[in-house]
Chains A and B, each alone.
Chain A
Amino acid sequence: MSSTNKNIEPLWWGLFSAGGVVAAFLVPVHILIFGLAVPLGWIPDTGELFHHPLVKIYLFVLIALPLYHWAHRFNFTVNDMRLGVPRGPLALLCYGGAIVGTVMTLWVLLQL
């Protein structure tokens, strides 16, 4: 099991990195638009745009990749905080959570 973990470690680092780039370049403007501007009525939106196939592919990248960024950071930071959280279950929660989030994102986008 530990040799398997070693083999897939570069994958987690790669996804962490890709997710970090997406979170850094793309996420802030989406918080501004969909977290503030649209709810406050500055920019009215019916969500029509989300039905476009290219937008769906974009949304998949936007939502799924930063989840792996979270998983990697959360896993390492909780270990560093010495809270006594066992490593195995923590890693499962983090990377498993990101995988579940990816599947959920795919499922929602395919429903549209």
Chain B
Amino acid sequence: MGDKMNGTAVRPDKSKLYYPKMPRTWWLQKPAYLLFMLRELSSVFIAIFLIVFLVQIYQLTKGPDAYAAFVQKLSSPGWILFHIATLLFALLHSVTWFQSTAVVMPLKLGEHEMPRKLVFALNIGAWVAVSAVILILFLAFRG
């Protein structure tokens, strides 16, 4: 977009609006912005993981052999790297989500609001407990 484009008769109303000039790489300018972008990106990795997981479950409709073959495919270095990266992104999402929960949904104990750090710690505790229960249930009931 050159300067000649602005303020012409084509879009007269737009020239009256304020547009902050932001380079496309604004999110590289501060560590906090980069962390924000990585957090947003985590949802992409999580979504891809869930779709791959769904494809894995879909293999069962073709029989246990197809399922085993798919699991075998996932043991390749590329997929393992993808899942390590995805796990790190997922951990980033969990931690930042619990931090924001402490701010957005503060817990009250009687009249007093609980310290954010305590709410965060409670969330982390619940998360570890839930994860352990899922792992134990899977170990107990897996085929």
Decide yes or no whether B11 CB sits under 8 A from chain A. no
Min Cβ gap A70→B in Å is: 4
Secondary structure type dominating chain A contacts = helix
Contact at A47–B126, with CB atoms within 8 Å? Answer: no
Contact at A104–B142, with CB atoms within 8 Å? Answer: no
**Least CB separation from A52: chain B residue:** B141
Contact at A111–B27, with CB atoms within 8 Å? Answer: no
What is the interface size of chain B, counting residues whose CB is below 8 A from a CB of the partner?
Answer: 52
Secondary structure type dominating chain B contacts = helix
Task: Please measure, in the bound complex, the distance between the C-alpha atom of A46 and the C-alpha atom of B71, giving whole angstroms.
Answer: 9
What is the interface size of chain A, counting residues whose CB is below 8 A from a CB of the partner?
Answer: 51
Q: Which residues of A69-85 have CB atoms within 8 Å of chain B's CB atoms? A: 69-70, 73-74, 76-77, 81-83
Q: Which residues of A contact B46 (CB under 8 A)?
A: 23, 27, 66, 69-70
Q: Which of B37, B40, B51, B90 contacts A101 (CB 8 A)?
A: B51
Contact at A27–B49, with CB atoms within 8 Å? Answer: yes
Given contacts A39-B71, A108-B58, contact A21 B97 (CB under 8 A): yes
Task: Please measure, in the bound complex, the distance between the C-alpha atom of A85 and the C-alpha atom of B46, giving whole angstroms.
Answer: 23
Contact at B44–A70, with CB atoms within 8 Å? Answer: yes
Contact at A108–B61, with CB atoms within 8 Å? Answer: yes
Q: Which residues of B contact A46 (CB under 8 A)?
A: 64, 67-68, 142-143
Contact at A67–B98, with CB atoms within 8 Å? Answer: no
Contact at B43–A25, with CB atoms within 8 Å? Answer: no
Decide yes or no whether A96 CB sits under 8 A from chain B. no
Decide yes or no whether B108 CB sits under 8 A from chain A. no
Q: List 29 A-B contacts (CB under 8 A).
A: A23-B97, A24-B93, A24-B98, A24-B127, A25-B94, A25-B131, A27-B50, A31-B83, A35-B82, A36-B80, A38-B71, A39-B83, A43-B138, A46-B67, A47-B56, A47-B59, A49-B142, A66-B43, A66-B50, A69-B43, A70-B44, A74-B40, A74-B43, A77-B40, A101-B51, A101-B54, A105-B54, A108-B58, A108-B61
